[in-house]
Structure 1
Amino acid sequence: MHKEQTLEMAGAQAVPGAGSVAVAMTFIGLMFFILGCATWLNGSLIPFLKIACDLNNFQSLWVTFAFYIAYTLMALPSAAVLRRTGYRAGMSIGLAVMAFGAVLFIPAARAASYPLFLLALFTLASGMTLMQTAINPYIVCIGARESAATRISIMGLFNKTAGVLVPLAFSGMMLSDFGSYSDATLAAMSAPDAALLRSQLAQRLVLPYGLMAVGLLAMAVIVRLAPLREIPGQQASGDEGTSRWGVLQFPQLVLGALALFVYVGVEVIAGDTIGLYGHSLHVEKFGILTSYTMGFMVAGYIVGIVAIPRWLSQKQALLLSAVSGIAFSFGVIQGSATGSGLSQALLGVFGVPAVPDTVMFLAMLGFANALVWPAIWPLALEGLGRYTASGSALLIMGIAGGALLPMLYGHLSDVSGSQAAYWLLLPCYALILFYAVKGHKMTSWR
């Protein structure tokens, strides 16, 4: 994400020119946008599939499990692919796998089969794992380390802008007449009629995911032919004698992966459960609520781009993120589920529809979360040298938090209520706070 000139990977590196960095950032930014489209569609997809496949909260959050568990299962294989192919070819392969996952949505939608939907999501996310394993260290290593968080913030801006736009587009295309699919309407129908209506709803997914597959394949070809330089010393020849488990000797990396685990969990909870929560509070346009969270994340990334490293260090940004996350989490748990004064005060001037205060606090977690990912990556990868690819894979495995923690939230919400279950956020932000204060400084286990 920015234009400085130092590469400190495995020994002396070539200094990239400003033009090559700009070209690389343009392509990587487009790929972050694509990843954002695929990722943040889940926030609208979850309540959609909950109705189309007749699910409860816990069952519907298998969407996040199938999607994010791929990052854990496929991270080390992805690192192995990168060692053989290099980063540029790895990005292209990842896009092709994503396209295949999008194609699988077509038979899933035609059969209205929830297991097949989950398989499609897992395949889509497997391609994204390879993409993430390649593009995150790539963007860290094409410039100076002290400005790495700024570069990642710029890329996050692409990612979260997609997160703002995609739920709006999805709701406009898919949820325009959603009132006819309400729980009350379906409950009043006979079982065969309700099943037919659900099947018709599921088949609406055929067109958008078909178009997604075509676009991903085209992008795979473009990236393969693009003038992206390889990161020196990061291909197989530079990794000889490197054990994939040797990364465990770096506490700042292992603890960084754990911090990313809880961070991705709270990020997904804030972005993907807000629609379910809004639906439970009878918010009329619950399908667009993910856009609220993503809008605050965009604001957070803009702050990061402007302030880091000029006024804020990466460590200070992480500390502020953790503290604000704790504060907003208390707002979610204790806020009003009926009053809307907070959203009217913050967003009323923009003509944005008002939402209950507790929903607004949940959306504001997007602002708290924005700088966690860009701050942890450079801190965790500091000094890894030839272990960078394997270290990146370990950090990517931390994305499993997005699979497990939302599932735990779903179970708690079915048992104790949607609002009360958000207490789960507090220990997660406490762990991020520990990494910001001490964990990133630990260079030895002794």
Structure 2
Amino acid sequence: MAVVAPSTLGPPTTDHDQNTPSYTSALSSLTVLFFMMGFITCLNDILIPYLKSIFQLNYTQANLINFCFFGAYFVMGIPAGWLVKRLGYKGGMLTGFVVAALGCFLFYPAAASRSYGLFLAALFVLATGVVLLQVAGNPYVAILGPARSAPARLTLTQAFNSLGTTVAPLLGTWLILSHLPALDTPQAAAAIDVRAVQVPYLGIGAVLLVISALLALLKLPTITHAPAAGSSSQSILQYRHLLLGMVGIFAYVGGEVAIGSHIVSYLHLPEVMNMAPAVAGKQVSYYWGGAMVGRFIGAYLLNKFNPGRLLAFNAIGAVLLLIISALTRGEVAMWSLLAVGLMNSIMFATIFTLAVAGLGRHTEQASGLLNVAIVGGAIVPLLFAVVADASSLRWAFVLPVLCYAYIFWYGLKGHVFRLPAV
């Protein structure tokens, strides 16, 4: 079934949206895709303390995990956009699942050889598959229905992404972090059982291949784009709201990942909670669980309130919570940090849909560019770690504060759609 996307997230439409068919079954099947993307990505929060112990790494070295994983978005984002344009949304998703499965299988030889370099290479391959899933999945959901409800629709499917990020720390802590020794010494690190990371990733790879096979059997609607607003000869880089949206995605993913990747270390600090890694790892679920709850709520609120203003409200809430956490101790410091997950909830979907508004046939290319901006998840956490090594984790929270401050501005002013000058 081929369907023309209704103005493809163009400026607000009215009666045109009323003729848009229902895509409930297609959207329901895509929730599995978003769940797995969240599950895979959030396991990095468990891998960082695990590999930090096994290889005796400092914060900066351990954050090469995020650098390689999210760096794949920078390297592969635009090629993924081209591939999705050639293969279609469904073909892009199928390819993404297979490549991600290959990355998971590479964890076995990486763990067997106890090579940090091979771990990073496996993560890059795994992330390349996730990039394809993101580039195909996000715009497909965004254009699969009325333009005016795109932020709410993508936020709802992103809620299942957050379900994956909520489950991953619990399962990862049980399967992986529970095998860490009580003492973090070179002798204890040499005795760590590498099967704790081999078996879970082999299982994840097998599940990804099964999902890919099932997706191949599904009949998903084929979308044909309406023309973009403005002249057909316009360069995509002339759309100001898209370029500013790329910075927004960079800031959001960077801030979110920098916080999530260091929750275990933060809660381990004596002045915060002095928790053991296996205990602190379970608390990470509250951070991602808050995002899940917020996305289900946000899917309703985004149909009632202006998406830009709601984005700005959440961003300033994240800033205030981070400042509270950095200035307090004990449970107040812990819960204020974990509550940032609730503020994160609507950010990705809202920034994404505001950034691709009115781009029509440029949508796949725009999606590739926005996914390149996810490299913020590589850059910001690495800078966070450098600051933490040089001073403290508390001072490093300055970086996420700056990220959310930019998102606050984008929600108020930066997202406004303007036709490029001819």
TM-score normalised to the size of structure 2?
0.91
The answer for the alignment partner of 1:373 in structure 2 is: 348
More deviation in 326-335 or 31-40? Answer: 326-335
Q: Distance in 1 between matches of 2:268 and 2:158?
A: 28
Q: Distance in 2 between matches of 1:15 and 1:137?
A: 20
Q: Distance in 2 between matches of 1:231 and 1:40?
A: 31
Preserved CA contact (<8 Å) 2:46 2:177: no
The answer for the alignment partner of 1:354 in structure 2 is: none
Q: 1:408 aligns with which of 372, 375, 383?
A: 383
2:295 matched to 1:301? yes
The answer for the alignment partner of 2:256 in structure 1 is: 267
Tell me how far 1:222 sits from its aligned partner. 1.3
Q: Distance in 2 between matches of 1:294 and 1:381?
A: 26
2:412 matched to 1:437? yes
Tell me how far 1:254 sits from its aligned partner. 0.3
3-state secondary structure, aligned to 1:231: strand
The residue type equivalent to 1:292 in the other structure is Y
The answer for the alignment partner of 1:255 in structure 2 is: 244
Output aligned runs, 1:61-140, within 5 Å: 61-140=63-142
Q: Deviations over 1:204-242 (max 9, x none)?
A: 2111111111111111111122111121149xxx9xx98
Output aligned runs, 1:167-206, within 5 Å: 167-178=169-180, 180-183=181-184, 186=185, 189=187, 194=188, 196-198=190-192, 200=193, 202-206=194-198
Tell me how far 1:291 sits from its aligned partner. 0.6
Q: Deviations over 1:164-206 (max 9, x none)?
A: 111111111223353x3422xx36x4xxxx45314x2x33211
Q: Distance in 1 between matches of 2:267 and 2:205?
A: 30
Q: 1:328 to 1:371 in 2, by over 3 A?
A: same
Tell me how far 1:442 sits from its aligned partner. 5.0
The answer for the alignment partner of 1:227 in structure 2 is: 219
Preserved CA contact (<8 Å) 2:111 2:197: yes
Q: Distance in 1 between matches of 2:54 and 2:6?
A: 50
Preserved CA contact (<8 Å) 2:9 2:143: no
The answer for the alignment partner of 2:32 in structure 1 is: 30
More deviation in 134-143 or 215-224? Answer: 215-224
More deviation in 166-175 or 70-79? Answer: 166-175
Tell me how far 1:373 sits from its aligned partner. 1.0
The answer for the alignment partner of 2:61 in structure 1 is: 59
The answer for the alignment partner of 1:207 in structure 2 is: 199
Q: 2:328 aligns with which of 322, 325, 335?
A: 335
Unmatched runs of 5 consecutive residues or more in structure 1: 341-356
Q: 1:359 to 1:252 in 2, by over 3 A?
A: same
Preserved CA contact (<8 Å) 2:17 2:146: no
2:401 matched to 1:426? yes
Q: Distance in 1 between matches of 2:162 and 2:132?
A: 20
Preserved CA contact (<8 Å) 2:92 2:132: yes
Preserved CA contact (<8 Å) 1:10 1:386: no
The residue type equivalent to 2:61 in the other structure is Q
The answer for the alignment partner of 2:45 in structure 1 is: 43
Preserved CA contact (<8 Å) 2:247 2:373: yes
Q: 1:206 to 1:431 in 2, by over 3 A?
A: same
Tell me how far 1:444 sits from its aligned partner. 5.2
TM superposition outliers: structure 1 runs of 4+ over 4 Å: 10-16
The residue type equivalent to 1:364 in the other structure is A
Preserved CA contact (<8 Å) 1:44 1:288: no
The residue type equivalent to 1:40 in the other structure is C
Preserved CA contact (<8 Å) 1:7 1:14: no
The residue type equivalent to 1:298 in the other structure is M
Q: Distance in 1 between matches of 2:213 and 2:47?
A: 28
Identity of aligned residues (%): 32
Tell me how far 1:283 sits from its aligned partner. 1.1
3-state secondary structure, aligned to 2:72: helix
2:285 matched to 1:291? yes
Preserved CA contact (<8 Å) 2:152 2:303: yes
More deviation in 427-436 or 118-127? Answer: 427-436
The residue type equivalent to 1:7 in the other structure is P
Q: Distance in 2 between matches of 1:16 and 1:50?
A: 51
3-state secondary structure, aligned to 2:162: helix
Tell me how far 1:376 sits from its aligned partner. 1.1
The answer for the alignment partner of 1:321 in structure 2 is: 314
Q: Distance in 2 between matches of 1:405 and 1:213?
A: 28
Preserved CA contact (<8 Å) 1:140 1:148: yes
Preserved CA contact (<8 Å) 1:101 1:122: yes
Q: 1:148 to 1:9 in 2, by over 3 A?
A: closer
More deviation in 107-116 or 296-305? Answer: 296-305
Q: Distance in 1 between matches of 2:156 and 2:415?
A: 23
The residue type equivalent to 2:136 in the other structure is A
The residue type equivalent to 1:420 in the other structure is W
Q: Deviations over 1:14-44 (max 9, x none)?
A: 96532xx112111211100010110111111
Q: 1:387 to 1:228 in 2, by over 3 A?
A: same
TM-score normalised to the size of structure 1?
0.86
Q: Distance in 1 between matches of 2:111 and 2:232?
A: 44
More deviation in 321-330 or 126-135? Answer: 321-330
Q: 1:444 to 1:333 in 2, by over 3 A?
A: farther
Q: Deviations over 1:239-285 (max 9, x none)?
A: xx988x92111000000010110110011012221112223343131
Q: Distance in 2 between matches of 1:206 and 1:373?
A: 31
The answer for the alignment partner of 1:217 in structure 2 is: 209
